[in-house]
């Protein structure tokens, strides 16, 4: 049942309950595992149409709502890609009952969401000059395989901003070769790994085999056309 008023104590340590009752979404089993993962270093390798963006957005909204005065960053290769996650955050926020939303949120802008507890969620591009200066409790690095100057960004900018807060790094991407920091994360035993296959997405009824087959056919056709 959706709450009529915002009481963070009801959802302390309960992101799945928050997703169900406040955001009004029902996570799959693999989404539940990501929502409840308490590791500080997390890698997410999910196929498209798996609900990855929905899950990351739900997790960061819950965390900001439950943790006052925290800064939580969405970082992607470009601002347009960061805004894909932020747009899903906005979708989640509009699903919250109006009375709860008024009590929880202070101000919502295109790239920043402020909560009344002093927390914020900020969408940024992968640009060191725009990233420096933040102290973060959560960093979601989306499409991390495609970060430009990824060693500089991760090791000199993103990880240091998590040091004083002992915050969480969530790096997600579709695989793209082995010459990236993201690939190193997938091999690092200190990272918690969330890896699923297309079959898991089909079983969760988030897509169909017919859709996957059609996308693969179109990809092959486009590849053939590009080579002619």
Residue 114 has, within 13 A of its CA and on its CB side, a CA count of 5
* Residue range 19-196, CATH number: 3.40.50.300
Q: What percent of the chain has pLDDT over 70?
A: 94
Consecutive H or E run containing 41: strand 41-45
Spatial contact of 196 and 46, defined as CB atoms under 8 Å apart: yes
Q: Quickly state the pLDDT bin for 218 (edges 50, 70, 90).
A: low
pLDDT in tens, 190-211: 999 999 988 888 888 787 888 7
- What's the pLDDT score for residue 26? 96
Q: pLDDT for 113-129, tens place per residue?
A: 999 999 999 999 998 88
Residues of the chain with CATH 3.40.50.300: 19-196
Report pLDDT digits (tens) over 11-64: 999 999 999 999 999 999 999 999 999 999 999 999 888 999 999 999 999 999
Rounded Cα gap, residues 212 and 219, in angstroms = 11
pLDDT at 215 over 70: no
Which of 117, 24, 103, 32 is closest to 72 using CA atoms?
117
**∠ CA(184), CA(185), CA(188), 5° rounding?**
90
Cα–Cα distances in Å, from 220 out to 174, 184, 208, 224, 228?
Answer: 18, 29, 19, 6, 13
pTM value?
0.90
pLDDT at 8: 95
CA–CA separation, 151 vs 211, rounded Å? 36
The residues near 199 (Cβ < 8 Å, ≥ 6 apart) are: none
Give the separation between CA 157 and CA 8, rounded to whole angstroms. Answer: 31
DSSP summary character for residue 193: E
- 128-159 tens-digit pLDDT: 888 988 999 999 999 999 999 999 999 999 99
């Amino acid at each position: 049942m959706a709450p009529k008023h915002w009481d963070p104590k009801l959802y302390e340590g309960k992101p799945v309950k928050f997703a169900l009752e406040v955001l009004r979404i029902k996570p799959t089993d693999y989404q539940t595992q990501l929502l409840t993962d308490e590791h500080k270093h997390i890698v997410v390798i999910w196929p498209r149409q798996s609900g990855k963006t929905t899950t990351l957005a739900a997790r960061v909204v819950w965390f900001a709502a439950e943790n006052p005065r925290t800064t939580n960053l969405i970082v992607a290769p470009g601002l347009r890609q960061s805004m894909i996650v932020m747009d899903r955050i906005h979708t989640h926020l509009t699903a919250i009952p109006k009375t709860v939303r008024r009590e929880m949120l202070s101000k919502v802008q295109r790239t920043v969401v402020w909560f009344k507890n002093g927390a914020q969620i900020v969408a940024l591009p992968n640009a060191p000059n725009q990233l420096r200066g933040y102290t973060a409790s959560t960093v979601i690095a989306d499409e991390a395989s495609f970060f430009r100057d990824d060693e500089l960004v991760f090791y000199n900018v993103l990880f240091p901003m998590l040091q004083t807060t002992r915050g969480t790094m969530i790096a997600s991407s579709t695989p793209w070769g082995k010459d990236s920091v993201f690939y190193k994360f997938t091999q690092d035993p200190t990272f918690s790994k969330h890896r699923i296959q297309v079959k898991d997405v089909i079983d969760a009824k988030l897509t169909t085999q017919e859709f996957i087959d059609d996308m693969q056919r179109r990809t092959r056709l486009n590849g053939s056309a590009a080579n002619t």
